[in-house]
Amino acid sequence: MQLRELGEFRLIERIKSKLSYSHRDIVKGIGDDACVTRIQTGKLLLSTTDTLIEDVHFDLGFISAHDLGKKSLAVNVSDIAAMGGEPRFFLLSLGIPSRISVKFIDQFVSGLSEAAQSFQTYAVGGDTSLSPERFVVSITVLGEALPSHAIYRDSANVGDQIFVTGYLGDSALGLKILKSRTNLSRVEERFRYLTERHNSPVPRVTEGRLIAENRIASAMIDISDGLISDLEHICRESMVGARIWLEKVPLSEAFQKYSKEFTENPTDLPLSGGEDYELLFTVDKFNVGDLERIKTEFQTKVTHIGEIVEKDNGVKVLRDSGQRYTVKKKGFDHFL
């Protein structure tokens, strides 16, 4: 079915019917001029928004509508996780070109709804508009955190140890694999883990919450642009430098097995590839023991990859030999 057979208001009704759930904290959900939600007294409201634009952030040849729905919410939820918060509600704005079918929107919304349920995050509104050529998704997530639990980028200290969740570089390698094929159905089964790490990232909400509740981290960020680039954000805000031990950067088995096939520079992907959506955080050395204790509850591994040093040292990657390693490109920048 084409969108013109449905019209804007019936499309919104259709989206609403698949996304809205009643919740005691939603006083007024989708359907009024603004949504009305209750937030718990004493908590901070965390707000974040991210836009995904066709042919800039995704290529519909390489990601299914369902995965795109999941990913659009996941990348936003990841920002809340990186603050040590809990995602609560979200707003969904869509720019839809006329060539997009109603079936595509249905699949997109079903992926989104799956993600929303897994994070217990509720749709409370949005906006729907025609877009001239490209499909555009913009999601705003509202989350909350206790003031004592929120974790910022600006409070890393010299001597803090640097940790990262999961494996790095899988997503960037997955994207290279996708781009080497003519479409999604041409991706071999053996590469599926890597392409899924790109198309269906898992934001580390559980880990972020545990880190926050146990006050493990002095600073935290999610890796969206790339390890070095995002670590530089922490360092700039905190006015410190950092050392990363190259051989400690966690690489998945699949990454180690296949990266050489798809890139001339496999060392750089985990450092600057981006879209890992893993958590990068700094820990005072007296809290490292507490991290060891809580990490048993993590759904992924956590790896000690470096330390915070004086600002003058900048952000450096060192080999075991003590030699410095220089990345070709630090991370993603839209305008560079």
Residue whose token pair is 């926050």: 212
Q: Of 94, 115, 271, 315, which lies in the binding site for ligand ADP, with binding defined by CB under 6 A?
A: 94
Query: Distance of CA 3 to CAs 9, 20, 91, 103, 317, Å?
Result: 11, 21, 21, 10, 51
> Which partner in ligand ADP, Mg ion, none is near 32 (CB below 5 to 8 A by kind)?
ligand ADP
Which window, 25-33, 59-67, 220-228, 233-241, contacts ligand ADP (CB under 6 A)?
A: 25-33
Element (H, E) at 289: helix 288-294
C-alpha 280/C-alpha 109 separation (Å) is 30
Q: Of 3, 12, 96, 219, which lies in the binding site for ligand ADP, with binding defined by CB under 6 A?
A: 12
Q: Of 7, 27, 32, 130, which lies in the binding site for ligand ADP, with binding defined by CB under 6 A?
A: 32
- CB–CB of 203/81 below 8 Å? yes
Name the β-bridge partners of 315. 242
C-alpha distance across the termini of the chain, in Å: 40
112 binds ligand ADP (CB under 6 A): no
Which window, 28-36, 192-200, 317-325, 326-334, contacts ligand ADP (CB under 6 A)?
A: 28-36
**Based on CB atoms, which residue is closest to Mg ion, 16 or 304?**
16
137 binds ligand ADP (CB under 6 A): no
**Based on CB atoms, which residue is closest to Mg ion, 127 or 310?**
127
Which residue minimizes CB distance to Mg ion? 127
C-alpha 284/C-alpha 307 separation (Å) is 10
> Which partner in Mg ion, ligand ADP, none is near 105 (CB below 5 to 8 A by kind)?
none
| Binding-site ranges for Mg ion (CB under 5 A) | 127
Q: Of 26, 30, 80, 302, which lies in the binding site for ligand ADP, with binding defined by CB under 6 A?
A: 30
Q: What is the DSSP string of 199-257?
A: HS----HHHHHHHHHTT--SEEEE-SS-HHHHHHHHHHHHT-EEEEEGGGS---HHHHH
Question: Least distance (Å) from ligand ADP to the CB of residue 210?
Answer: 31
Q: Which residues contact 303 (CB under 8 A, 6 or more apart)?
A: 163, 164, 248, 249, 250
25: left (phi over 0), alpha (psi -120 to 50) or beta: alpha
Q: Of 4, 24, 33, 335, which lies in the binding site for ligand ADP, with binding defined by CB under 6 A?
A: 33
**Based on CB atoms, which residue is closest to ligand ADP, 55 or 127?**
127
Per-residue tokens: 24 = 């005691």
15 binds ligand ADP (CB under 6 A): yes
Please report, as residue ranges, which positions from 157 to 176 form the binding site for ligand ADP (by CB under 6 A).
Answer: none
Binding site for ligand ADP (CB under 6 A): 12, 15, 30-33, 92, 94, 123, 125-128
